[in-house]
Amino acid sequence: MEFCKKCGGILIPKKVGGKTVFVCRNCGKKSDGGIGIIISEKVKSEDNIKTIEQRKEELPTTTESACPKCGNREAFWWMQQTRSIDEPPTRFYKCTKCGYTWREYS
């Protein structure tokens, strides 16, 4: 968690022109710091993607959901906690043919 140097408010990450900048929630001041945090978050998400890629071959497949991209009826699926812990995990699908990944909206 990063705090504003000017007013001490919480800094919220915002995407501006493809880059992530931290903007104060209270006064709107952009932080020039926080680069370390951006890098570590990026590494973390890449690790996450890699884990999914590595697990891909072991994932169960389903014919319940057709690929929205190529129409293939077989897809790998897995559950992932995307929001807070008290909300149900989201089911993700990955097409066995074209590799397109999508999530199930309930």
12 binds Zn ion (CB under 5 A): no
Give the distance, in angstroms, between the CA of residue 22 and the centroid of all CA atoms in the same chain: 18
13: burial class by Cβ within 10 Å (0-12, 13-18, 19+)?
Answer: middle
10 binds Zn ion (CB under 5 A): no
69 binds Zn ion (CB under 5 A): yes
58: helix, strand or coil: helix
Smallest distance from Zn ion to CB 66, Å: 8
7 binds Zn ion (CB under 5 A): yes
Residue of the chain from 3, 77, 78, 100 that contacts Zn ion (CB under 5 A) = 100
